[in-house]
Structure 1
């Protein structure tokens, strides 16, 4: 997996990166919150590891910013703060797991592997629906052998449709699964991204595999 580590302690970052590399993972390192946020948005990572005590911001606040921006990757918070209220704040910000320092590398690796499986949602590294194929590791998409370049949110929308192909996926489900909104923000964010996804998926093709179920949501056909 590609793992973004946001940690300002260079010795600790090196220790973690070395341990992850020994497990076959690729570790990308950011030493500040702002840098980490930028890389989280631009890099295709499977899991994010965020230190709670960053020099420019609280790691929990950084996680909250990531979730508000629609980043859906599983996040593990690392911290020396082990009090219950600190754990509650960390998890409440949108983190998926919380590990208190000092820790054993074996435990961190086990938690990262679990988060990686959770992030894949039960799909393998590749998935398909009809003539559409997804590489979930490289974040690449093909239709009838033609590669289609998608933005991260467009890829995640398609991924959710592939996951539930031939079934109607409601707008509310997409808001929760892709943007982690547990409420309706009263915007057309789903419609806008779906329109862009369709334009890219249908360029050069006659049939649109994405069906709009008016008033409900969308369905991806497996017979196209």
Structure 2
């Protein structure tokens, strides 16, 4: 999953970058409002974490202008302001949730996961398709109740596909949402991960959990 962090406190920006990368997210950074707005318009983020007090363009205006430009990425506001009026203003500008500084890392991670689920139409932290069950909290995949041993990137691929069951997801899109920007987008590593997932989930070749649409990408089999 790809996340934008817009925060002008360099120490907090670094801390959040490290925290989210440690939990498997691909992270882009902005330390001012203009950069944040540019990145929001250029990329499709799974979540944007935006501080209200950004220089050049404050967080409220970043969100308003992004929404006017039809940016649909879920937005989590970070604010040091504990007044309810600022929280209301942020939500009215188009934010989806807010978190007041200082905060616990566990709460931020939980809110990020909840926003990703909700934006995909999934209120339940466990996503099921036939015998497949993805626990987005424990980050585990089970088939008929038996947990599979997946690598971190295999899990990321499966999570993204199951959170976007209506979409045909291209290799480029998958790469952008599970790797940092400098990854080689022409690599065949996504094909390798999908092949491994198919063997682990469906060794007998009966379920066919991941469909390949030639020249377009992959889609979770909704008829499992």
Question: What range is the shorter-chain TM-score in?
Answer: 0.5 to 0.7
Deviation, structure 1 residue 121: 2.0
Q: Does 2:40 match 1:44? A: no
- CA-to-aligned-CA distance 1:42-80 (integer Å, 9 cap, x gap): 123210010000111221121111111000010000010
For the pair 1:134 / 2:203, whether they are aligned, the reply is no
Q: Displacement of 1:125 after TM fit?
A: 2.5
Unpaired runs of at least 5, structure 1: 149-164, 166-224
Task: Quote the residue 1:32 is aligned against.
Answer: 32
CA deviation vs aligned residue, 1:6-51 (integer Å, no higher than 9, x gap):
1111101001111111211121101111111111111232100100
Contact 2:44 2:73 in 1 (8 A): no
Q: 1:219: which partner in 2?
A: none
Paired residue secondary structure (1:71): coil
Per the TM alignment, residue 144 of structure 1 is displaced from its structure 2 partner at its CA by 4.2
Taking structure 2 as the reference length, the TM-score comes to: 0.59
Aligned to 1:176: none
Indicate the SS of the match to 2:216: strand
Residues 56-67 of structure 1 correspond to what in structure 2 (within 5 A)? Answer: 56-67=56-67
Structure 1 residues 73-112: aligned runs within 5 Å: 73-112=73-112
1:54 partner SS? coil
The answer to whether structure 1 residue 145 and structure 2 residue 180 are counterparts is no
Structure 2: state its 5+ residue gaps.
128-158, 178-210
| Counterparts of 1:24 and 1:144, CA distance in 2 | 27
TM-score (norm 1): 0.59
Inter-partner Cα distance in structure 2 for 1:67 and 1:115:
16
Q: CA RMSD in A?
A: 2.9
CA distance in 1, matches of 2:174, 2:41: 16
